[in-house]
Amino acid sequence: MPRIQAATLAEHRAAQHRALLDAARAILAETGRPPTLSGVAARGGLARPSVYQYFRSAEDLLVAMVEDVFPRWSERVAKAMDAAAGPGERVLAYVRANFELVAEGEHALATALAEVAPSDTVAEKTRAMHGQLLEPLVEALRDLGVDDASSTAEMVNAVVHAGSRMIESGAGPENVWECARALLEPFARDAG
């Protein structure tokens, strides 16, 4: 039996779970293919049977990855928006934080995960994530006095999607951000 490397069994199990998710994430990022339980075990430093203490199946592992990746994205965007000075700055922070995540490869990982994970699960989780991600943007737009904040949030998100495609196609993230800022800053300043 392996030695526990934490103060409590619960902390040890949480650390092992995190290590296995990180191993699966690395495998997916490197290969673009679903990680196998044996590959995750080897990468995470566990025997394959030990992985079953954390994930019942390869599908269970993929669901856990979805539940790990998408909320972290939303949390990072929300944190950037919370640090912004006012509603207009929060809108711009939303765009910039999304571009930063794309530039760091998070969007490619989320896209690869969406392609390999069970479709119903991923579709449901993706819809929930996008809804959660848009909530602070809609709130910032309401605070700006925008009448139809939900539709406007979708339009701002269209800029994020276009910029994301540009970054993933090789455009410099700072150049993309400057273009988006030039487009959105007058709106964020004068809205309402």
55 close to 37: Cβ distance less than 8 angstroms: yes
Q: What is the pLDDT of residues 154-167, one digit of tens each?
A: 999 999 999 999 99
With vertex at residue 40, the alpha carbon angle to CA 108 and CA 77, rounded to the nearest 5 degrees, is 35
**Separation CA 151–CA 139 (nearest Å):** 12
* Side-chain-side CA neighbours of residue 12 (13 Å): 9
pLDDT value at position 84?
96
Q: What is the pLDDT of residues 161-188, one digit of tens each?
A: 999 999 989 999 999 999 999 999 999 9
Conformational region of residue 74, where left means phi above 0, alpha means psi within -120 to 50, and beta covers everything else: alpha
Q: What is the pLDDT of residues 53-109, one digit of tens each?
A: 999 988 888 888 888 877 888 899 999 999 999 999 999 999 999 999 988 877 777
Task: Judge residue 95's burial from the number of C-beta atoms within 10 Å of its C-beta, 0-12 exposed, 13-18 middle, 19 or more buried.
Answer: buried
C-alpha torsion sign, points 101, 93, 68, 8:
positive
- Band the pLDDT of 118: cuts 50, 70, 90: low
Task: Judge residue 76's burial from the number of C-beta atoms within 10 Å of its C-beta, 0-12 exposed, 13-18 middle, 19 or more buried.
Answer: middle
Check pLDDT > 60 for residue 192: no
Q: What is the pLDDT of residues 11-68, one digit of tens each?
A: 988 999 999 999 998 888 888 788 899 999 999 988 889 999 999 988 888 888 888 8
**Separation CA 44–CA 51 (nearest Å):** 9
